Amino acid sequence: MARLMKEWTIDAFGPQNLKLTERPIPQAGPGEVLVRTTAFSLNFRDKLVLENGMGMPLVFPFVPGSDMAGVVEAVGSDVTRFQAGDRVISVFDPSWIDGQKPGTARQPTSFALGGLNPGVASEYVTFPQDWFVHAPKSLDDGEASTLPCAGVTAWYALVEKGRPKAGDRVVVQGTGGVALFGLQIAKAHGAEVIVTSASRDKLDRALELGADHGIDRLSEDWVERVLEITGDHGADHILELAGGANLGRSLHAVAVQGRISVIGVLEGAEISAPAPLVLLKSPVIQGIGVGHRRALEDLVAAVDQTGLKPVVDARYRFADFREALAHLDRGAFGKVVVAV
């Protein structure tokens, strides 16, 4: 008799449609690995995909989630990257190995897990070997599961594209997963880090984590404070995590020929900014669609070398996946993890 596993699925859009289901554990075919999931972490994207699919033609029943850690239980023929017993983490978009991002001008796309590819909210997954990398040795499975999306997004924006220098002024908006990875990565490169938040408590925690300055955006004009802190130089790099009209505010705060990495859509998917500032300041404004597998491998190496520890706000049991999503919706300080 085939062994059974449990996984979370939806048959229609809406987190209220989440249910715990059973099916046989899939076998590893040629070039594939069977991985026992030990933890997965949540992203804001998971919430959006569950709510409306983010415009993707999802196949139901649909398994959500993109970021997991686990242990290889079996390998199919022709597998060379892993062997049974290896600790691994998933690659967010397994179609993007390195270099140029796949897609065309007419059809830019992402083949991320928990979207156009299967999700990971399951006790076991069987995926091609190229969909995994070795987990960092210095992190536990819950911490390791936070790297594929949030960790790589911050790393790709700051290191792969931004190439930070000691003394750079970096503004991080908010205290979610990407933001706190950004704070830690920027500090590891010698940057002066300014964090903005609507929560005084979270700002205090960010300062304890190493931020140089905290700005309460509800009681202060964060742009003016950034200019004051930097002596009117402005921010060399801003992790723009709000979206919407906030991009215009970021343009006021960025340095001449600075950089704005557009990452989040919390305030709306339609972004806007004043054209005169774009022309006068000539900043680099770059969208960051997470990053490739090689960037994840670089991040894993850096984590083991530097001792960087992802900030995990809470850990939930597999049976409590709905409660974990509710925590994400309330606003986490760092990451929310589900242990399997």
Those residues whose C-beta lies under 8 Å from the C-beta of residue 15, and which sit 6 or more positions away, are: 47, 50, 51, 322, 325
Q: What pairs with residue 79 in β-bridges?
A: none
What per-residue confidence (pLDDT) applies to 222? 98
The Cβ of residue 328 has, within 10 Å, a number of other Cβ atoms equal to 21
Q: Taking Cα atoms as reference points, which of 186, 94, 188, 89 lies closest to residue 140?
A: 89
Q: What is 13-41 written as a DSSP string?
A: SSGGG-EEEEEEPPPP-TTEEEEEEEEEE
Q: Using one digit for the tens of pLDDT, what is the confidence trace for 28-52?
A: 999 999 999 999 999 999 999 999 9
Give me the phi and psi of 128, to 5 degrees please: -60, 150
Please, which pLDDT band fits residue 266 given cuts at 50, 70 and 90?
confident
Helices (H) then strands (E): counts for the chain: 10, 15
Mean pLDDT (whole number) for 308-333? 97
Whole-number Cα distances in Å, 90 to 17, 33, 145: 25, 12, 8
**Single pTM value for the model:** 0.96
Mean residue pLDDT across the chain: 96
Mean pLDDT (whole number) for 216-234? 97
> Do 245 and 274 form a contact (C-beta atoms < 8 A)?
no
Instruction: Using the structure block, give the residue that is written with the tokens 């997965």.
Output: 40
Rounded to a whole number of angstroms, the CA Rg of the chain reads 20
> Do 204 and 215 form a contact (C-beta atoms < 8 A)?
no
Give me the phi and psi of 286, to 5 degrees please: -125, 130
Asked if pLDDT for residue 193 goes beyond 90, the answer is yes
Share of the chain above pLDDT 70, in %: 100
What per-residue confidence (pLDDT) applies to 265? 80
Q: Using one digit for the tens of pLDDT, what is the confidence trace for 72-97?
A: 999 999 999 999 999 999 999 999 99
DSSP letter at 122? B
